[in-house]
Structure 1
């Protein structure tokens, strides 16, 4: 029966002690963006509905396209968006939900509750989901599979409160990933822009320890520009999910590099035209 559900590359790669990587999508909700992610070698995408103008329709189309391409779609929802919004995102095709600005156990429980079907949570049943290519399968088949592999819960650790309560959050059944938002967390603890600050490194180590203790996945966002720190996170702290660059940032960086190359080619022009 598990083969009827699209693959969750994050869970599969973690089971093989491999790292899962994601392309961030914030500006270009196109099928081509999914194919770029696949061709570039990413195994998942991070569809951002928090800092973006993407619509629910954009989200659904990206999720469906991603699953058909063998890429696992995870979606970040806006802060305090409500249970109904989270459920719509999951029904639209997200295989995981990323929730920002977590503070403690209570708001974590609320996220898990709406993301998982009974007996784990209280998500409402519906049929013909994109996760199963719209096949009309019975709930006793789909609900357990989605609970286990099709509704991965990412709780973002990016507040002082979440950092203080990280062990209790990691202990919750239904919490799958603790995702550190490097920029927001470093602002909260007063270390931005110094990602080498001992207090920031200690925060990463605290999240790592909670993940290892409770068997949860450690994820990181915002540090792909620091390969030295990423190597430490992966090899010493056990980080297994990495949010890479965002679509707009990667396009802008590529465009700037291209423009600089063209400018160098014309640098010695001396009015010959």
Structure 2
């Protein structure tokens, strides 16, 4: 039977789990995995359920839509056999891009890469194999940022991209583009947010004599490096480490944090909760 994943959030009240499981049973659904969480601070309920059913996706969507109306749910239902469509954006530093491409190539990140986009030309990545992936060079020339972002948005729409990943894409998105991509654009910031936002965070960290550095994957918002946090990790450093040492150490942290965040998104494990996220980790 096809496998589906249902995610939802709604105001908390008794009977939500019973109503969802009963609705799935009505369509012959067999629940394979289920996780739930009640945020006591906001009195909001979150749920992720994987189930098998012979029913067609449109039939299930219509039925769950009726239930969602009764419970004021924000929800999503997806056939797990349908690969997600992801666009990768990068700049000169390509370690995150190379890592994602490798994990995709070996099947660790099952997705359809709609394009690789960079503000640097193709020969910047001449050592990377794109395996037939479309590459687009969209330079950000002075005074033409709006034109570049219009071309980028046209590409996102034209390829039916579901998620945009900023794999060390060293350009700040405009407020307008960030708003258009709300909830569907993940950035990797080379710092353990909320500390050391903006440019040159490793140099900022070195100047403060920190003993831990890290990286943060978060959703992009109009407020720079303020979006809902998805995944973070850290590593200890010492007084002898230079900013260049921290950059070298940080590359490894950035790669694994971004890959983990992308893995969570591809498996429908991230639900937005205002300025925060609920992540149903394995």
Q: Same fold (TM over 0.5)?
A: no
Normalising by structure 2, report the TM-score. Answer: 0.29
Normalising by structure 1, report the TM-score. Answer: 0.30
**Which has a greater percent of helix?**
1
**Which has a greater percent of strand?**
2
